[in-house]
Amino acid sequence: MTGLRFVLGSLALAALLSGGAALLLRLVPVGGRRPLGFVVLGLPLFVLGLSTAHLLGWYRADCASLRGWDQAGSLGLLVLLWGSVAWALMRNLLRLRTARRLLGSWPALEHPALVQHLAPVCEQWKFPLPRLRVLDTSSPAAMSGWLGGPTVVVSRWLLEHLDGDELEAVLAHELAHLFRRAGAVLWAVRLLRDSVWYLPWAARTLELLEGEEELEADALAAKLTGRPLALASALGRFTEYGLPDGRALPAFRHSAAWVLEERLRRLVEGQAKPGSRLAGSLLAGGFAAAAWRAVPSYLAASAAALPVYCRIAP
């Protein structure tokens, strides 16, 4: 076995484990996908870290298993893989910085009626009342984040086109994102997705977790307000805004079409209820425990099979 084959074998092992977890992720009910999703995207980095540690030990040893083109090829592949991680970190830090700048640039919204909608929900959740900001646009948009505290942004369009119940439902949905720490969780998931871009199921895993976040936020909002049809009506207004001239829906530019359809179906049919985390947590724990025990042993045995070439001093 050569060093390059060792790295490629480690990648194959990572793909096998991550791909198996990705297949199971599709079977996990909504509400329990977060833990297993992190396993899908995090396992390749765990395997990569261990295989890198083995090879770095050989680079420093007097008797090395790597030389010539084998050394250059294995080192080049490791640089490419870890370079992807560094690129992903820089990209997502810039994304976070841009989001915080935008969030802070929009003016504060003085709207006592909105505060009246938010206060009961926050009191029930024992959650601090968020700051309100307004986005002066004629498109439907609502978002939430942390800027020295919880912040909710609504567009001028929402204030002008939604009735009281619909607006309360949208605000409850955004509060649910804050309560679930969706911003931090999805930022970490995107970082992992960008780090393992070479896995074909990485993008689909992110899509599933983003979709679950919207569905779970809907479920919490419906539970708190007791009016799931109000949120469905608001989504319907967003859809009606985008359909007449074929424009992309600004409110759903980051969501796949199936997410919108599933959200509407669950809300209209009264099925928007928070899901159980048990199945996903058990599967994630099982996969992580198995990888923790099996991967180091496999890589150690593979590294031991590398040929050894001792450096002879001139």
Q: Are 152 and 144 within 8 A, CB to CB? A: yes
Rounded CA-CA distance 292/43 in Å is 10
Torsion, Cα of 180, 181, 182, 185 (10° steps): -120
Residue 292's contacts (CB-CB under 8 Å, 6 or more residues apart) are none
Burial letters for 102-130: b for 16+ Cβ neighbours within 10 Å, e otherwise? ebeebeebeeeebeebbeebbeeeeeeeb
Q: Are 22 and 205 within 8 A, CB to CB? A: yes
- DSSP letter (8 states) at residue 314: -
Query: What residue ranges define each of the domains in the chain, with the CATH number in brackets?
Result: 3-101+278-310 (no CATH), 106-268 (3.30.2010.10)
Tens-place pLDDT, residues 7-25: 899 999 999 999 999 999 9
Q: DSSP for 235-274?
A: HHHHHHHHTTTT---GGGTTS-HHHHHHHHHHHHTT---P
Q: Strand, coil or helix: what is 122?
A: helix
User: What's this model's pTM, rounded to 2 decimal places?
Assistant: 0.89
- DSSP letter (8 states) at residue 164: H
Pairing of strands 150-155, 63-64: unpaired
Altogether, the residues listed in the chain come to a count of 314
Q: Where are the alpha helices (DSSP H) in the chain?
A: 3-25, 33-60, 68-105, 112-125, 156-161, 164-179, 182-195, 202-225, 228-242, 257-268, 278-304
Rounded CA-CA distance 91/112 in Å is 38
Residue 250's contacts (CB-CB under 8 Å, 6 or more residues apart) are 139, 140, 141, 242
Rounded CA-CA distance 62/52 in Å is 18
Tell me the pLDDT of the chain (314 aa) as tens digits. Answer: 577 888 899 999 999 999 999 999 999 999 999 999 999 999 999 999 999 988 776 666 566 566 667 677 888 899 999 999 999 999 999 999 998 888 888 898 887 877 877 787 788 778 888 888 998 888 888 888 887 788 888 888 888 889 888 998 999 999 999 999 999 999 999 999 999 999 999 999 999 999 999 999 999 999 888 899 999 999 888 877 755 444 444 444 445 678 888 999 999 998 888 888 998 999 999 999 999 999 999 888 887 777 766 655 44
Q: How many CB atoms lie within 10 A of CB 304?
A: 11
Of 266, 157, 158, 161, the closest CA to residue 217 belongs to 266
Rounded CA-CA distance 169/226 in Å is 9
